Structure 1
Amino acid sequence: MTRQIREIMTPDPVTVTEQAPIIEAAQLMRERGIGDVIVTESGHLRGVVTDRDLVIRALADQRSPTLTTVGQVCSRDLVTCSPQDAVDDAVRLMREHALRRLPVIEGDEVVGTVSLGDLAIDRDPHSALADISFAEPNR
């Protein structure tokens, strides 16, 4: 039987608004041991900000961590999936678009994320990537 995204996704993603300062997103990433935060407005997906976005689009340009908003540095050209989609479809999307994470959308609501780590744990639980994904975050 084909596995669905809902079976492997990380539910209840951490979110911030577009107007949140990037320092808030960075602190959430550190506290939760994650590498991305979903950007929403009124519950609707607006973007994704990753640790890499913070470094490349903010820190490298010497932008203020308290004055720069998440909306100014987040990725907005998003590819998403639904909880009912097949895991194979997520793999294909991530491969085609060179993505490490996909927001999971049900209707208009963000209900989770699926990451390379989630896929590694599902597909090859004894792989190095799965081992790293299982490990406690290095804070």
Structure 2
Amino acid sequence: MAQLVRELMTSDPETLPVDATVQQAAQRMRDRGIGDVLVIEDGRLCGIATDRDIVVRALAEREDLSGTRLGEVCSEQIVTASPNEDADNAIARMREHAIRRIAVVDEGRPVGVLSIGDAAVERDPRSALGDISAARANA
């Protein structure tokens, strides 16, 4: 029987409003030991900001990040999945778009994140990626 995205995803995704600062996002990522926050506007998903986005689109481009908002640096081309979707389909989309995580939405509202690490832990826990993804965060 096929697994559903809801069975693999990390529930309760970290979200921040589009006008939150990059520093707030970085602090949330640090505090929760995660690499992304979902960016919302009026409760609906409008972007995803990763630790890499912060480095490449914010830190590398600006001297002063104090006024930089998530909406300025987040990825707006979002690939999403439904919680009731076959996980294989969502993973194939991640491969197709060369992304490491996919936002899980229900009626436009974020309900989770599916990462390649989540999939590896569940499907191939003895692989290097599965082992690393299951380990406790070191930050």
Equivalent-residue separation in structure 2 for 1:31 and 1:21 (angstroms): 15
> What is residue 118 of structure 2 aligned with on the other side?
118
Determine the structure 2 residue equivalent to 1:61. 61
- Residue in 2 aligned with 1:98? 98
Give the Cα–Cα distance (whole angstroms) in 2 for the partners of residues 29 and 87 of structure 1: 25
Name the CA shift for 1:63/1:47 in 2 (closer, same or farther; >3 Å): farther
User: C-alpha distance in 2, partners of 1:134/1:121?
Assistant: 6
Give the letter aligned to residue 69 of structure 2: T
Structure-2 change in CA distance of 1:17 and 1:63 (3 Å): farther
Equivalent-residue separation in structure 2 for 1:60 and 1:15 (angstroms): 24
Residue pair 1:58, 1:64 contacting (<8 A) in 2 also: no
User: Corresponding residue for 1:8?
Assistant: 8
In 2, Cα distance between equivalents of 1:15 and 1:2: 29
**Counterpart for residue 75 of structure 1:** 75
Separation in 2 of the partners of 1:22 and 1:106?
26
How far apart, in 2, do the equivalents of 1:57 and 1:5 lie?
30
The residue that corresponds to 1:22 in the other structure is 22
Partners in 2 of 1:64 and 1:70 — Cα distance? 14
Q: Report deviation, 1:107.
A: 1.2
- How far apart in 2 are the matches of 1:131 and 1:63? 38
Aligned residues: 139
- Secondary structure, counterpart of 2:49 in structure 1: strand
CA–CA separation in structure 2 for the residues paired with 1:18 and 1:117: 26
The CA distance in 1 between the partners of 2:63 and 2:129, in whole Å, is 33
Q: How many angstroms apart in 2 are the aligned matches of 1:62 and 1:56? A: 10
Structure 2 portions without partners, runs of 5+: none
2:64 and 2:102 map into 1 onto residues whose CA distance is 28
CA distance in 2, matches of 1:136, 1:121: 13
**Equivalent residue letter for 2:101:** R
Identity %: 50
